[in-house]
Amino acid sequence: MYLFYTKGSHEVYQRKQWICLKFWLILGLLPRTCVSNPSKPNFLLILADDLGIGDVGCYGNDTIRDGIFFFRTPNIDGLAKEGVRLTQHIAAAAVCTPSRAAFLTGRYPIRSGMASSTQRRILFWNGCSGGLPPNETTFARILRQQGYSTALIGKWHMGVNCKSRHDHCHHPLNHGFDYFYGMPFTLLNECQGIDDPELAKSLQDTYWLYTQMIILAVLTLLIGKLTNLFSVKWKIVICLAICGLLYFISWFSSYGLTKYWNCILMRNHDITEQPMNLEKTTSNMLKEAVSFIERNKHRPFLLFVSLLHVHTPLITTEKFQGRSRHGLYGDNVEEMDWMVGRLLDGIDKEGLKNSTFIYFASDHGGSLEAHRGNAQLGGWNGIYKGGKGMGGWEGGIRVPGIVRWPGVLPAGAVIHELTSLMDIFPTVVHLAGGEVPQDRVIDGRTLLPLLRGTVQHSGHEFMFHYCGAFLHAVRWHQKDSGTVWKAHYTTPVFQPEASGACFGRGICPCFGDGVTHHDPPLLFDLLKDPSEANPLSADTEPLFDVVTRRIGEAVEEHRKTLTPVPQQLSPYNNIWKPWLQPCCGTFPFCWCDEESNKADGIL
Ligand SMILES: *[C@@H]1O[C@H](CO)[C@@H](O)[C@H](O)[C@H]1NC(C)=O
Ligand SMILES: *[C@@H]1O[C@H](CO)[C@@H](O)[C@H](O)[C@H]1NC(C)=O
Ligand SMILES: *[C@@H]1O[C@H](CO)[C@@H](O)[C@H](O)[C@H]1NC(C)=O
């Protein structure tokens, strides 16, 4: 039902445009009203990492500093003032890897195999074999076909290699980007070499357990084989032993070597820093972004700046340290905002302001678990419950979303309609004159009519909130009444008041003893209760049964559209494989620093 509805309306929309086009072609005219903008705009897409919706000034974060009323993110707020601010902008997942896969492809991560059914929901290594499958189509690939110059600057975190160290099958250059400068992985505490290992912590329980299990299995088989108790092929015993060894090595090396294996910088296919020099990264990234804009000012371009801010360990240049009222985290937010300002300056300086579509968002909500001692190192999700890693609660998935395109989009508009990060895919593709792939389901809906105010409602009726491969919650925008319902089938067990939500686990789990199942589901009316504090029941809400039944039907319909695909985050695809490790020396001696001799820039 749901799919028919949206697909239908989308086709109608396209057909209308086509009829309109033919009509004007016959008259030999092609006015602006028909084709929304004849010249292809440039795109500057900025995605922050782990930024909470409550961190941003125009989403309500005002602060008093030195007795003066002060907004903490003046540049992002300025973007909203000149553009459109989305208040119900939803990420497809509450952790990086799947959310980013969905953003780039316009599809729920479960469709591309980027949703995990284990506790490990993000890629753990540059040297693992999982990643965004080569047959997924990113908006960058379509834009390149449309004559755009395309670049990714910053974080990728969607895999590097499949079978050998240099195949780069998951690499940004294999996904439609002409140019890449940044981290193929993500920032981690380990990158700074401080004593609070992030990766090792999240690996330790499962890794040690599996290693023990494998050792036990190998020993049993070996003894069985040698004493002729049962027959097994040597091949199997040896394979298992090698697996166990690899498992052990990757767990072990997560302590000391992560910095060398994961914290690296690349320019296109080349590694420029291994391990990366954190002090220089911010200024290098800005330089790269601004010079890309300068180089491409005469042709349409797509620049995706995927910021490393505001992920731990909160690398902040001296200039910004101690500036904010919110500790190191606040300083890092202010530095990020300053970076956004520099990017906007780069656009304005080249006279590209009116011809550039600028988008700002965060990949998911702030991390409640990130803190050291009493200092909160993760983002603030405002009035919303939960945070990073939690499948369905608003705090993990409701993010800032701002679009600016002067002259085409209204200035200072605020839209409360249901929108998704996945909507950027069809929006960007259509504006560039391309077509979305017809051979697969696209979950994003084009945003342009909504942003321009030519339609009242977004193309979304239902939205599915996954935790890994598990559906935790569903929201329904009931268009006739205007109500936004949300039903939670599963919720993580966490303590919102305690300093660290799912502390001790690093991140809340999606299944097992760390979650609670709800039958009937927990139902909320999001417009009346945005903090999801008071679940409705059949006694308090006359529509309870009708609403939960309708949502249940939508889930059934949605499930029918899913097909099995290779699991990119399976245990096998998500362990460290020495032969896939990007390395700029002779493995295992991987060390280089190509950037250090370059002159200091911007900062
Ligand atoms: C602003 O954000 C900081 C964290 O970045 C948070 O501690 C503070 O409570 C927020 N203030 C408001 C008014 O939301
Ligand atoms: C850019 O758009 C704004 C808003 O429509 C308009 O006032 C301004 O004149 C435009 N600038 C240029 C250079 O076209
Ligand atoms: C990509 O390939 C996999 C495995 O070959 C297949 O299951 C999947 O459907 C393909 N995806 C698309 C979008 O064609």
What are 8-47's pLDDT values in tens digits? 334 334 444 444 444 444 444 444 344 444 479 999 999 9
469-502 residue pLDDT tens: 999 999 999 999 999 999 999 999 988 666 567 8
**pLDDT, position 404:** 98
**pLDDT, position 601:** 41
Task: Summarize the confidence of residues 41-59 as an average pLDDT.
Answer: 96
99: pLDDT confidence band, cut at 50, 70 and 90? very high
Q: Is the pLDDT of residue 89 over 60?
A: yes
Residue nearest to atom 4 of ligand 2 (CA): 407
From 89, 128, 157, 191, active-site residue = 157
Task: Summarize the confidence of residues 196-219 as an average pLDDT.
Answer: 74
DSSP code per residue over 392-418: SSHHHHEEEEEEE-BTTBPSSEEEEEE
List the single range of 98-102, 223-227, 448-452 with lowest mean pLDDT. Answer: 223-227
**CB of 407 closer than 6 A to ligand 2?**
yes
**pLDDT, position 254:** 63
List the single range of 437-441, 457-461, 554-558, 592-596 with lowest mean pLDDT. Answer: 592-596
Q: How far is the CA of 60 from the centre of ligand 1 (A)?
A: 9
CA distance 204 to 207: 5
Q: Which of 167, 118, 211, 159 is nearest to 510 (CA)?
A: 118
Which of 53-62, 68-77, 282-291, 373-382 tops mean pLDDT?
282-291
Task: Give the helix/strand (H/E) hosting 337.
Answer: helix 327-349
**pLDDT, position 233:** 86
CA 458 to chain centre: 21
Counting atoms of ligand 1 from 1, which one is nearest the CA of 329?
A: 5
CB-CB contact of 335 with 49 (8 Å): no
**pLDDT, position 133:** 98
Q: How far is the CA of 200 from the centre of ligand 1 (A)?
A: 30
| pTM score over 0.85 | yes
**CB of 59 closer than 6 A to ligand 1?**
no
Q: How far is the CA of 576 from the centre of ligand 3 (A)?
A: 24
**pLDDT, position 443:** 98
Task: Summarize the confidence of residues 502-514 as an average pLDDT.
Answer: 85
Q: Is the pLDDT of residue 95 over 90?
A: yes
Percent of the chain with pLDDT over 90: 71
Q: How far is the CA of 354 from the centre of ligand 2 (A)?
A: 6
**CB of 330 closer than 6 A to ligand 1?**
yes
CATH-assigned architecture of domain 39-198+255-460+568-593: 3-Layer(aba) Sandwich (3.40)
List the single range of 79-88, 96-105, 221-230 with lowest mean pLDDT. Answer: 221-230
**CB of 329 closer than 6 A to ligand 1?**
yes
Q: How far is the CA of 199 from the centre of ligand 2 (A)?
A: 48
CB-CB contact of 151 with 178 (8 Å): yes
List the single range of 81-90, 151-160, 225-234, 417-426 with lowest mean pLDDT. Answer: 225-234
Task: Summarize the confidence of residues 45-74 as an average pLDDT.
Answer: 83
The number of the ligand nearest the C-alpha atom of 59 reads 1
**pLDDT, position 25:** 44
List the single range of 471-475, 543-547, 570-574 with lowest mean pLDDT. Answer: 570-574
Counting atoms of ligand 2 from 1, which one is nearest the CA of 353?
A: 1
Q: How far is the CA of 135 from the centre of ligand 3 (A)?
A: 6
CA distance 356 to 405: 6
- Ramachandran angles phi, psi of 536, nearest 5°: -85, 160
202: pLDDT confidence band, cut at 50, 70 and 90? low
Question: In 227-311, which residue ranges form alpha helices assigned H by DSSP?
Answer: 234-256, 258-262, 278-295
Supply 546's token pair.
């009708």
- Mean pLDDT taken over the chain: 88
CA distance 532 to 522: 9
Residue nearest to atom 1 of ligand 3 (CA): 135
The number of the ligand nearest the C-alpha atom of 348 reads 2
**pLDDT, position 22:** 46
CA distance 397 to 35: 33
Q: Which residues line the pocket of ligand 3, CB cutoff 6 A?
A: 133, 135-136, 440, 565-566
Q: Is 157 a catalytic residue?
A: yes
**pLDDT, position 103:** 98
In the chain, the largest separation of any two C-alpha atoms, in whole Å, equals 89
Task: Summarize the confidence of residues 186-199 as an average pLDDT.
Answer: 80
CB-CB contact of 310 with 332 (8 Å): yes
**pLDDT, position 156:** 98
Which residue ranges make up each domain of the chain?
39-198+255-460+568-593, 202-252
**pLDDT, position 170:** 98
Task: Summarize the confidence of residues 70-83 as an average pLDDT.
Answer: 90
Q: How far is the CA of 25 from the centre of ligand 2 (A)?
A: 28
Residue nearest to atom 7 of ligand 2 (CA): 407
List the single range of 56-65, 408-417, 540-549 with lowest mean pLDDT. Answer: 56-65
Q: Is the pLDDT of residue 252 over 90?
A: no
341-364 residue pLDDT tens: 999 999 999 999 999 999 999 999
Counting atoms of ligand 1 from 1, which one is nearest the CA of 62?
A: 13
Percent of the chain with pLDDT over 70: 86
Three-class secondary structure of residue 501 per DSSP:
strand
Supply 16's token pair.
């209308």
**pLDDT, position 205:** 62
**CB of 334 closer than 6 A to ligand 1?**
no
Residues 6+ apart with CB under 8 A from 62: 69, 70, 71, 72
519: pLDDT confidence band, cut at 50, 70 and 90? very high
Which of 321-325, 326-330, 456-460, 506-510 tops mean pLDDT?
456-460
Residue of 112, 565, 573 with the most ligand 3 atoms within 8 Å of its CB, for mutation? 565
The number of the ligand nearest the C-alpha atom of 112 reads 3
Query: Rg of the Cα trace of the chain?
Result: 24
Q: Is the pLDDT of residue 68 over 90?
A: no
**pLDDT, position 3:** 34
Q: Which of 108, 99, 107 is nearest to 47 (CA)?
A: 99
Residue nearest to atom 2 of ligand 1 (CA): 55
**CB of 61 closer than 6 A to ligand 1?**
yes
**CB of 354 closer than 6 A to ligand 2?**
yes
At position 285, the amino acid (one-letter code) is M
Neighbours of 325 (CB within 10 A): 13
CA distance 54 to 163: 42
Residue 215 vs residue 298, higher pLDDT:
298
Q: How far is the CA of 381 from the centre of ligand 1 (A)?
A: 8
**pLDDT, position 34:** 40
CA distance 530 to 532: 5
**pLDDT, position 376:** 85
Q: Is the pLDDT of residue 259 over 60?
A: yes
Counting atoms of ligand 3 from 1, which one is nearest the CA of 564?
A: 7
Residue of 354, 357, 358, 408 with the most ligand 2 atoms within 8 Å of its CB, for mutation? 354
Residue nearest to atom 2 of ligand 3 (CA): 135
